[in-house]
């Protein structure tokens, strides 16, 4: 966060947004100059460093931007006392002597006081003067400095600007893609008050802001701001907040940010490498991903509300709009197992697979198994029962999609199109679309299994092949090239549909010959 007097925002109607520093060469150059200034003042007093950085404010930048960068750099400094003795003790002795001498104190009497204090402390008068106020911030010596990358400094400035604005929020609402385990671990550790609800296919988390409390709590506001870096580490995110910039104002302003529009200002997000909680999880994920089922395996998916708490399953399996969750009950303490069973027992209308270590077999788990798919394992989670369950869900998905698909709803503009391309556009399984096409024709198109081709285009290709065939022998490579040039797909299915057969004389397509099929 930054001091509130360095906050730069823009208002428009009921909206407020931070004025981010653009990643221009000019802004990055200023960051570089500031970093160089700090490096050049190693071993010097902080006051000297401050004077140098204030000089950069004359270069035409908003002074709040320059001071904001300086504030972040100050946190990378290691400052030390220059004095040879404790400044507090030096002042105590000096002020006592001054009090004994009485007022007024002129330059001559000042020297007498300092000399007597130096003698009493066993210091040279120069050492005493250097120690007298040596513990003041401006007198500290810059002994170390951790230099950042200039661009990273600008990114950090933009992040801190957002954190500062969130300090004045009455509430923060956000969504995220991935990273949920870390986000909720941070929420719990920071002691934030939250609520979660389902929005469409995902979840939205609302966190109370510091100003929503009866009394503005600085610590709570700081903790809320500290949640922001964890949110923006997600692959995709969005944030909405209600901001009360000043206590004297009664009007709340809206802050809206998202990863697509604002993520670039806060740096490139480096998604942490997948780290599994156990070798059992990692082994299962490796084997499932190698099975090529078409289902997408997601580790630690979005949270599921359970009463006033949330549950984040270990995995989810996703295909189209079908989602199946899996929780692994491995090495759990009795207390943790009781809490987990309590959450699982509250789940409703959630397709959940519970994979439990055989050693944890108990009555509570058996009761869970009456409503969920319970699988026991030893050392390794079996794939077969999980794949069987997913296959049944997929079959039901295909059945549902087949029943609602209508040929008259199709809108095909291409002369030749693959069935999987149409399925992707319709958002359905390819196998479901193929089932529909077996029963119903698309007017004007010929169904070749994997392809749909306009009947007029198929006839055009047929004529070209016939003309070429009359000129002499035709190999497979030449035939496929003719089809491609005519606007078709290089597929032997078109040749088969037009009554041609391929005679293979090896693995080379140039050696394979085309002949007309014999009529039955």
**pLDDT string in tens for the chain (520-residue length):** 888 889 899 988 889 999 999 989 999 999 999 999 999 999 888 888 888 888 888 888 888 999 999 999 999 998 877 766 777 787 888 888 888 777 666 777 788 888 888 888 888 877 777 777 666 777 788 889 999 999 999 999 999 999 999 888 888 899 888 777 788 878 877 878 788 877 766 678 888 766 554 444 566 777 888 889 889 888 889 999 988 877 666 678 999 999 889 988 887 545 455 666 678 888 999 999 988 888 999 887 877 777 666 777 888 998 877 889 988 876 555 555 566 666 776 776 778 888 888 776 665 556 655 556 788 888 889 999 999 999 998 888 888 888 877 766 677 778 888 888 888 877 788 788 888 887 788 888 888 888 888 888 888 888 888 888 777 777 777 778 878 777 777 567 787 778 877 777 766 666 777 777 765 4
Report the CATH architecture of 279-394.
3-Layer(aba) Sandwich (3.40)
For 309, the enclosing helix (H) or strand (E) is: strand 309-311
The pLDDT score that the predictor gives to residue 454 is 84
What pLDDT, on a 0 to 100 scale, did the predictor assign at position 33? 93
Nearest 5°: the CA angle 468, 469, 475 is 95
Q: Are strands 296-299 and 315-319 parallel, antiparallel or unpaired?
A: antiparallel
Domain boundaries along the sequence of the chain: 9-81+142-152, 87-133, 167-266, 279-394, 455-516
Cα separation, 88 vs 29, in Å, equals 41
Architecture of the CATH domain 167-266: 2-Layer Sandwich (3.30)
Instruction: Give the pLDDT confidence of 376-405 residue by residue, as tens digits.
Output: 888 889 999 999 999 998 888 888 888 877
Report, in angstroms and rounded to the nearest whole number, the Rg of the chain calculated over CA atoms.
Answer: 36
Q: What pLDDT sits at residue 276?
A: 66
The pLDDT of residue 271 is 47
- A 10 A CB-CB count for 252 gives 16
What pLDDT, on a 0 to 100 scale, did the predictor assign at position 383? 92
Preceding amide of 20 cis, omega within 30: no
What's residue 139's pLDDT? 77
In angstroms, the CA 499 to CA 485 distance is: 20
Strand order in the sheet with 296-299: 296-299, 315-319, 322-329, 352-357, 373-377
Q: pTM for this structure?
A: 0.59
**DSSP structure class, residue 488:** -
Owner of token pair 């995709």? 236
The Cα 332–Cα 342 span in angstroms is 14
Task: Say what the pLDDT of residue 156 is.
Answer: 92
> Does residue 324 contact residue 385 with C-beta atoms inside 8 Å?
no
Q: Looking at 11-62, list the stretches that DSSP marks H as alpha helix, in order from N- to C-terminal side.
A: 25-40, 46-55
CB atoms under 10 Å from CB of 502, counted, come to 15
For residues 44 and 111, is the Cβ–Cβ distance under 8 A?
Answer: no
SS3 184: helix
DSSP string, 329-374: E-S--HHHHHHHHHHHHH--S--EEEEEEGGG--HHHHHHHTTSEE
Cα 404 off chain centre by: 36
Joined together, the tokens standing for residue 204 give 């939205």
């Amino acid at each position: 966060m930054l001091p509130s007097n360095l906050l730069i925002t823009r208002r428009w109607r009921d909206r407020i947004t931070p004025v981010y520093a653009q990643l221009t060469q000019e802004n990055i150059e200023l960051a570089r100059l500031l970093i160089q200034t700090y490096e050049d003042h190693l071993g010097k007093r902080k006051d000297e460093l401050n004077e140098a950085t204030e000089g950069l404010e004359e270069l035409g930048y908003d002074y709040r931007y320059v001071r904001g960068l300086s504030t972040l750099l100050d946190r990378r400094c290691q400052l030390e006392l220059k004095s040879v003795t404790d400044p507090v003790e030096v002042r105590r002795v000096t002020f006592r002597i001054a009090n004994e001498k009485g007022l007024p104190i002129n330059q001559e009497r000042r020297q007498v006081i300092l000399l007597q204090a130096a003698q009493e402390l066993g210091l040279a008068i120069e050492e005493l003067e250097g120690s007298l106020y040596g513990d003041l911030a401006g007198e500290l010596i810059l002994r170390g400095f951790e230099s950042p990358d200039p661009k990273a400094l600008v990114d950090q400035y933009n992040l801190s600007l957002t954190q500062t604005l969130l300090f004045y929020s009455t509430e923060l609402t956000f969504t995220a893609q991935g990273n949920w385990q870390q986000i909720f671990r941070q929420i719990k550790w920071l002691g934030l008050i939250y609520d979660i609800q389902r929005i469409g296919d995902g979840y939205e988390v609302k966190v109370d802001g510091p100003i929503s409390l009866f009394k503005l709590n600085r610590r709570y506001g700081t903790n809320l701001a500290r949640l922001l870096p964890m949110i923006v580490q997600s692959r995709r995110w969005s944030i909405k907040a209600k901001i009360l910039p000043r206590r004297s104002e009664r009007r709340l302003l809206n802050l809206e940010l998202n990863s697509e529009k604002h993520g670039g200002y806060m740096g490139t997000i480096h998604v942490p490498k997948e780290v599994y909680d156990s070798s059992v999880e990692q082994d299962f994920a490796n084997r499932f991903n190698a099975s090529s089922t078409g289902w997408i395996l997601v580790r630690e998916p979005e949270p599921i509300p359970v009463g006033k708490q949330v549950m984040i399953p270990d995995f989810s399996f996703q295909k189209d709009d079908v989602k199946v969750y899996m929780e692994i009950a491995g090495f759990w303490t009795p207390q943790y197992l009781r809490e987990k069973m309590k959450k699982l027992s509250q789940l409703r209308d959630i397709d959940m697979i519970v994979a439990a270590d055989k050693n944890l077999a108990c009555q509570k788990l058996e009761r869970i198994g009456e409503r969920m798919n319970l699988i026991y394992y030893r050392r390794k989670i079996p794939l077969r029962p999980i794949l069987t369950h997913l296959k049944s869900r997929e079959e039901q998905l295909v059945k549902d999609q087949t029943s609602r698909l209508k040929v008259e709803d199709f809108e095909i503009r291409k002369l030749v199109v693959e069935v999987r391309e149409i399925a992707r556009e319709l958002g359905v399984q390819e196998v479901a679309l193929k089932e529909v096409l077996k029963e119903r024709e698309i007017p004007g198109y010929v169904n070749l299994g994997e392809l749909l081709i306009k009947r007029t285009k198929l006839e055009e290709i047929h004529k070209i092949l016939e003309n070429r065939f009359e000129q002499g022998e035709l190999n497979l490579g030449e035939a496929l090239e003719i089809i491609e040039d005519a606007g078709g797909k290089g597929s032997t299915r078109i040749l088969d549909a037009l009554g041609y057969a391929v005679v293979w004389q090896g693995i080379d397509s140039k050696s394979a010959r085309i002949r007309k099929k014999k009529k039955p």
